[in-house]
Structure 1
Amino acid sequence: MKRFSFSHGTVLTIILVLPAAILFGSDIAAASAGDPTDGFTEVPLKPSNIALQKPYDVPLDQRYSFIDGVHRMWVYSDDKPFSRHSDTQPRTEIRIAGLDYSSGVWQFEGHGYVPKGTSGATVAQIHGASHGATTGVSSTVMVRIYSGDLRYYSGDVIARGMYDKWFRLNMIHDADAGKVAVYVDGKEVFRHDARGKARAFYFKCGVYAAPKDHSRYMESRWKNIKMYKKK
């Protein structure tokens, strides 16, 4: 299995020799041995946990629909931000509200779909990081799509050829150990150190335009959204 945060050579040899629990911490490592939700307890979601963010100057139904269990979200590159006083990029996103955390091991699961043509958009993220004040990075994980490939921010490719098909996405965050892992269709595709502590972390999915190189129209669809926590 590829470990995108490590290079070939000595470090790779160590990974092959040492148990995953020693390298990454037992909580996240245990998930890699089977289904990513093994050992987790589902946290039931209520309608109030699904909070929508969209351009502040348009009605919700012009950027969002919910039909047959599918949340469809779209945005244009020249849309306004979600708040009149925000200078962020345009977005239409679901923010998992009421389940903010600063400790423990948490997991997001959802089935996503990105139509061909959407590019340069974050489709899922773990919001919160200690480095945002100095670097402008305010999320521990951003899963973006560029030309059909899912990437960690605009860097490492974590899954290729993802247009026009449903995929299962799991994001695990061990806030105590400072580790994150991402799974696509039940397979681990990315593991990395988190970006430090934050007062509050939370999960999001939808479309949020990247700072540059984004398409004019961006869309993603989500269903079967679930939250889990390790006891």
Structure 2
Amino acid sequence: MTTASVDAVADQDRKGPGRPRSARADEAIIEAVLELLSAGQSADALSIEAVAATAGVGKATIYRRWPNKEALLIDAVTTMKGPIPEPAGVSVRDDLVTLLAGMRTKRMHRYGKVTACLLPELVKSEEMHKVYQAGVVEPRRDVMRGVLRRGVESGELRADLDVELTLLMLSGPAIVQNMLRWNPAVPDEGFAEHLVDAVLRGARA
């Protein structure tokens, strides 16, 4: 689709009070960001001009939706991760496996590549780091935190469990394997189950 045609769709969707903005234009812009980052473009070097050219829209279309590049990056990464898996609430182990398995899908392989390109920006910019934590990381962390706290209350887990450290022990290896395949000797099959079982050996009541 050409720049003119995508922008025309966006303009048409804006006509009239209360009309929603163009979902097609939004998707094209988000996909352009992910395409550029997946190809190795650093977040710092990524430009609105490049995103607009890749998406086939004008820069004005992007700026009508996002106030700056940082907001666009966060929205793109959040969209790519998809919805947070919903724990069934039957057992702590099963719920943790569900959440960790959701971090190891084919979608997450692309997410790992994109996140690697974001890391320099997250290290350099405290504001970007805060926004990334609040918009991308914390919502998922909070769901897992709830599972662990429920386990402590039900007696499945130790009463003196350090919930925040346990969160780190569970999510850290999954993130590192996704992004860097840090230890190729660890198989992908059954990764979530093996990791949860290893952590729960020390966390069970």
Rg: which structure is higher? 2
Ranked by relative contact order (alpha carbons within 8 Å, sequence separation 6 or more), the top structure is 1
TM-score, normalization by structure 2: 0.26
Report the TM-score, using the length of structure 1 for normalisation: 0.24
More helix by share: 2
Q: Point out the structure with the larger strand share.
A: 1
